[in-house]
């Protein structure tokens, strides 16, 4: 199994072409794996360190039970995560990476919002520590497209530190050649494939998954976590949590149950890595 990124060999530029290319799957979050709009509000309010306190274990459990399993997670997400988990265990893929343009919120470290969502997703799918790396708005430098979306560069995943990523961002030729060569076995899944610099890797575009879970499910989630409702009200976020969701439900009518995008993704992964 491929253990370290090949960045070290960048000093021995002439020899790096003999090293095998890592097999990496990169996943976007929002509107790709699900509709997680309310997670950010809930996580950020719950993390505010004043009275009353919210128990994070209970909060994650409740979000899994009442929100993720009621439509916030895209259909077949569990199948996708279990497949990657199995392939990683078998040594058929080397890494699974989260690459989101969402900000980590409150803190840039592992107690931020993006890591909170990562924990919830891994818990929901029964695949602990599936993700090996996480890229979010606050730990990657990125250009912004004309429509305001972040441009994601697959090359970032192959580099060890921000200095090298900074060089790649500034189009350093040696580093660009390096990541182009090593990206051959990388697969990235995103609902905005047009905003990805794929290098020599491959991108699978999926339709945006926009419809959130129902209001009753959100009520159930909030009510089953002690102090959460009070805390949301203290922060003036209780109303907006439901209003935003109500607007989205009106905007994106219909049902998500027939969505089979992640089955398509699973089939590509099986074909490429099994
Ligand atoms: Mg997205």
The tokens for 38 are 């309310």
Which pLDDT tens digit goes with each residue over 132-171?
A: 999 998 888 888 887 777 899 999 999 989 999 999 999 9
Flag whether 249 is in a domain.
yes
Flag whether 6 is in a domain.
no
Query: How many residues make up the chain in this entry?
Result: 274
- pLDDT of the residue at 257: 74
CA of 212 to the centre of ligand 1 (A): 14
Flag whether 66 is in a domain.
yes
Q: What is the mean pLDDT of residues 80-105?
A: 95
CA of 149 to the centre of ligand 1 (A): 9
CA of 39 to the centre of ligand 1 (A): 15
CA of 11 to the centre of ligand 1 (A): 35
Choose among 125, 111, 112: nearest CA to 64: 125
Which pLDDT tens digit goes with each residue over 166-185?
A: 999 999 999 999 999 999 99
The tokens for 25 are 């799957």
CA of 88 to the centre of ligand 1 (A): 24
Q: Round the average pLDDT of the chain to a whole number and report it.
A: 90
Flag whether 21 is in a domain.
no
Confidence of residue 1 (pLDDT cuts 50, 70, 90): very low
- pLDDT of the residue at 4: 44
CA of 214 to the centre of ligand 1 (A): 21
CA of 29 to the centre of ligand 1 (A): 6
CA of 249 to the centre of ligand 1 (A): 18
Question: How many whole angstroms separate alpha carbon 230 and alpha carbon 154?
Answer: 42
DSSP characters over 91-156: TS--EEEEE--S---S-SSTTSHHHHHHHHHHHHHT-TT--SEEE-TTTS---B-TTSPBPEEGGG
CA of 152 to the centre of ligand 1 (A): 11
CA of 55 to the centre of ligand 1 (A): 29
For the full predicted model, state whether its pTM sits above 0.75: yes
How far is residue 86 CA from its own chain's centroid?
19
CA of 20 to the centre of ligand 1 (A): 30
Confidence of residue 107 (pLDDT cuts 50, 70, 90): low
CA of 191 to the centre of ligand 1 (A): 5
- pLDDT of the residue at 273: 96
Confidence of residue 208 (pLDDT cuts 50, 70, 90): very high
- pLDDT of the residue at 181: 92
Confidence of residue 106 (pLDDT cuts 50, 70, 90): low
Question: How many whole angstroms separate alpha carbon 159 and alpha carbon 248?
Answer: 38
- pLDDT of the residue at 48: 86
CA of 151 to the centre of ligand 1 (A): 11
Check whether 51 has a pLDDT greater than 60: yes
Strand 24-27 and strand 95-99: the pairing is parallel
Q: In what order do the strands lie in the sheet with 202-205?
A: 133-135, 95-99, 24-27, 186-190, 202-205
Q: What is the mean pLDDT of residues 187-216?
A: 95
Confidence of residue 110 (pLDDT cuts 50, 70, 90): confident
- pLDDT of the residue at 2: 43
Q: Is the dihedral of CA 152, 154, 160, 166 positive or negative?
A: negative
CA of 83 to the centre of ligand 1 (A): 21
Check whether 240 has a pLDDT greater than 60: yes
Confidence of residue 105 (pLDDT cuts 50, 70, 90): confident
CA of 189 to the centre of ligand 1 (A): 9
CA of 136 to the centre of ligand 1 (A): 12
- Which domain, by its residues, includes 145? 26-273
Please give the residue that has the higher pLDDT: either 12 or 16. Answer: 16
Flag whether 76 is in a domain.
yes
Lowest mean pLDDT among 2-16, 36-50, 225-239: 2-16
CA of 193 to the centre of ligand 1 (A): 9
Total domains in the fold of the chain: 1
Percentage above 70 pLDDT, the chain = 92
The tokens for 74 are 């895209």
CA of 32 to the centre of ligand 1 (A): 5
Q: Collapsing DSSP states into helix, strand and coil, what is residue 248?
A: helix
CA of 51 to the centre of ligand 1 (A): 34
Angle at 51 between CA 47 and CA 54, to 5 degrees: 45
């Amino acid at each position: 199994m491929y253990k370290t990124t090949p960045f070290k060999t960048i000093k021995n530029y002439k020899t790096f072409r003999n090293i095998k290319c890592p097999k990496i799957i990169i996943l976007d979050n929002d509107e790709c794996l699900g509709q997680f709009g309310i997670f950010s509000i809930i996580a950020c309010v719950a993390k505010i360190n004043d009275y009353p306190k919210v128990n994070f274990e209970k909060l994650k459990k409740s979000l899994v039970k009442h929100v993720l399993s009621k439509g916030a997670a895209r259909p077949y997400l569990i199948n996708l995560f279990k497949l990657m988990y199995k392939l990683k265990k078998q040594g058929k893929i080397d890494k699974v990476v989260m690459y989101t343009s969402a900000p980590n919120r409150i803190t840039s470290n592992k107690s931020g919002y993006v890591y909170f969502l990562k924990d919830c997703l891994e818990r929901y799918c029964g695949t602990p520590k599936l993700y090996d790396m996480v890229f979010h708005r606050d730990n990657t430098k990125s250009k912004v497209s004309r429509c305001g979306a972040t441009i994601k560069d697959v090359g970032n995943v192959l580099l060890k530190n921000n200095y090298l990523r900074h060089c790649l961002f500034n189009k350093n030729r040696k580093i660009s050649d390096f990541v182009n060569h090593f990206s051959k076995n990388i697969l990235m899944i995103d609902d905005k494939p047009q905003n990805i610099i794929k290098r020599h890797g491959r991108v699978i575009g999926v339709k945006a998954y926009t419809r959130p879970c129902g209001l009753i499910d959100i009520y159930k989630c909030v009510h089953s976590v002690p102090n959460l409702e009070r805390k949301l009200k203290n922060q003036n976020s209780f109303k907006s949590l439901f209003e935003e969701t109500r607007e989205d439900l009106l905007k994106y009518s219909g049902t998500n149950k027939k969505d089979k995008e992640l089955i398509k993704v699973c089939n590509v992964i099986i074909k490429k890595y099994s």
